[in-house]
């Protein structure tokens, strides 16, 4: 998985920086989802920033993963008021996809990592 993303810590926020232009491979996306849910559930990392700067294409499976992750983090607010999922670095076509599906109303989106990370 190291070739798909790297992790960076900014205070209490964990940034997942995607290192690939395509999140279309079903096996990779399933492993990615398992890894991200493990970060939240097992490692109690409830403040996630997903940096999509390098990503040009993503599958509908990734949209489902984002919704699952957002739901999990929303539930975590009962024990961590700062729990949240923030997306950043979305290219115009990916941002448009989120707008068309109205997910821009559900998911927190910031233009850059600098704006997404509260230091």
Enclosing H/E stretch for 112: none
What CATH number corresponds to the domain at position 28?
3.30.750.24
Mind listing the pLDDT tens digit for each residue in 64-95?
999 999 999 999 999 999 999 999 999 999 99
Mind listing the pLDDT tens digit for each residue in 30-64?
999 999 999 999 999 999 999 999 999 999 999 99
Number of separate domains in the chain: 1
Question: Which whole-number Å values give the CA distances from 46 to 12, 92, 110, in the listed order?
Answer: 9, 27, 18
Q: What is the residue range of 34's domain?
A: 5-116
């Amino acid at each position: 998985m190291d070739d798909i993303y790297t992790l960076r810590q900014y205070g209490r926020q964990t940034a997942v920086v995607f290192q690939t232009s395509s999140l279309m491979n079903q096996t990779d996306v399933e492993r990615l989802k398992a890894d991200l849910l493990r970060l939240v559930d097992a490692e109690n990392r409830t403040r996630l920033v997903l940096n999509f700067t390098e990503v040009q294409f993503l599958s509908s499976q990734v949209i489902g993963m984002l919704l699952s992750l957002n739901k999990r983090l929303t539930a975590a607010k009962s024990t961590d008021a700062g729990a949240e999922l923030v997306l950043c670095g979305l290219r115009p076509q990916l941002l448009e996809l989120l707008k068309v599906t109205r997910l821009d109303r559900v998911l927190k989106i910031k233009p850059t990592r600098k704006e997404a990370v509260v230091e």
